[in-house]
Amino acid sequence: MAVQTKRGGATGVWARWVIANSLAETVGLGSALGIGVVLFPYLQAPGVLAALTTAAAAILAGTLIEGAVVGTAQWFVLRRPLPDIRWRSWALATAVGAFIAWTAGMLPVTLLGADTEAGAGGAAEPSAAAVYGLAAAMGLLAGTILGTPQWLVLRRHVPRAALWIPANALAWAPGMVMAFVAADFLFSGSPGATIVLLAIATLAAIGAVVGAIHGLALVWLLRLARPLGPPVSLSAG
């Protein structure tokens, strides 16, 4: 287990982590929401098979985006304090978590929508408080799912890495509420430059908030793994 620390280490790692997650989630969640806008009419089409096919396409896209974009951005920060961590391991763990989270989120909604489409009448819409409460609960679950495969990688490099799982859950509770707000920007109202800019700003804020929360846990874990005293150079003079 190798941990490298540099001047201004904790603050620098946390700041880079927040920026990396903000940029990555802007691209990742933005692409996922864009795909959702395109596929939404197909999810509402009658027939379970068509809905499941559309959901599978969305899950695959979400998995690839999360693994490639978010996993890579996070690894670029991790590789400095944790040089032994490998991009393939971290990106794969991120993609696996995304696949499970997307599957858990998409399939029940898709099946429910396909089953109730024909008979849905004038059911009352839930209140905003209920919607955002559900979003927070979904965030707790999604964060747990996303953090668990990453924990399997992180535990080889830092002690007490199990903290990473609840840290992700706590980070994604407000993050998912903000994601629901961003979805409202795209799915309601007429599209326009203002709506797109507001959605992008919200996505960047989601990544920053999520990164800021589990970034604190990352800094604490790195401090636990930090060797006592300054790093020693073994290179010959």
**Which pLDDT score is estimated for 222?**
94
Cα 118 to Cα 42, 49, 126: the distances in Å are 15, 15, 20
Location of structure tokens 């407000």? 174
Mean pLDDT over residues 170-184, rounded? 87
Mean pLDDT over residues 61-82, rounded? 88
**Which pLDDT score is estimated for 65?**
80
**Which pLDDT score is estimated for 234?**
40
pLDDT at 210 over 70: yes
pLDDT at 236 over 60: no
Q: What is the pLDDT of residues 86-110, one digit of tens each?
A: 999 999 999 999 888 877 766 555 4
**Which pLDDT score is estimated for 154?**
96
The Cα–Cα gap between 18 and 75 comes to 13
Which pairs from 81-86 meet CB under 8 Å and 24+ separation? 81/3, 81/4, 81/5, 81/9, 81/13, 81/222, 82/2, 82/3, 82/4, 82/157, 82/158, 82/222, 83/2, 83/4, 84/1, 84/2, 84/156, 84/157, 85/153, 85/154, 85/157
pLDDT at 75 over 80: yes
Q: Where are the domains of the chain?
A: 9-116+127-225
Higher pLDDT, 41 or 64: 64
**Which pLDDT score is estimated for 209?**
97
* 52 contacts 230 by C-beta, under 8 angstroms: no
For the entire predicted model, the pTM comes to 0.80
How far is residue 188 CA from its own chain's centroid? Answer: 23
pLDDT at 34 over 50: yes
Mean pLDDT over residues 160-175, rounded? 97
